[in-house]
Amino acid sequence: MDTIFLEQVKVQTKLGVPEWERTLPQTVILDIEIGYDFSKACQSDAIENTIDYGLVVARIRETLAEHSFKLVEALGEHVCQLILKEFKAQNVKLKVSKPGILPGLKALGVVMERDQK
């Protein structure tokens, strides 16, 4: 299997357990690995035989701007399912980082992996 990776994708969304934390968008950083069979793309050199990472990033930014999440886990699941369903990825590994949320803490977050069912 082949993998497309997108590192340090900065997105804006409303995220946090306390309601006040979800009043304004904040930056979340995503590291994404998308599993896909690139054999056709390697032969054809055509974008339609692979996953257009520009469209993936645009779609993630669009959907996260429209939604609010209490937990980074729920946000992560939302992004994983979007990539699996809309882009027909074989699998996805996602790291969600919420930077600078607590004093003395660089970031908090989750790492999750999901496969096509």
- The catalytic site residues sit at 98
For residues 77 and 54, give the distance between their C-alpha atoms in angstroms, rounded to a whole number: 20
Pick the closest to residue 12 from 68, 77, 83, 82 (CA basis).
Answer: 68
Cα-Cα-Cα-Cα dihedral sign, residues 22, 113, 94, 45 = negative
**CB–CB of 114/92 below 8 Å?**
yes
**CA–CA gap between residue 24 and residue 7 (Å, rounded):** 24
Q: Which residues pair with 92 in a beta bridge?
A: 34, 114
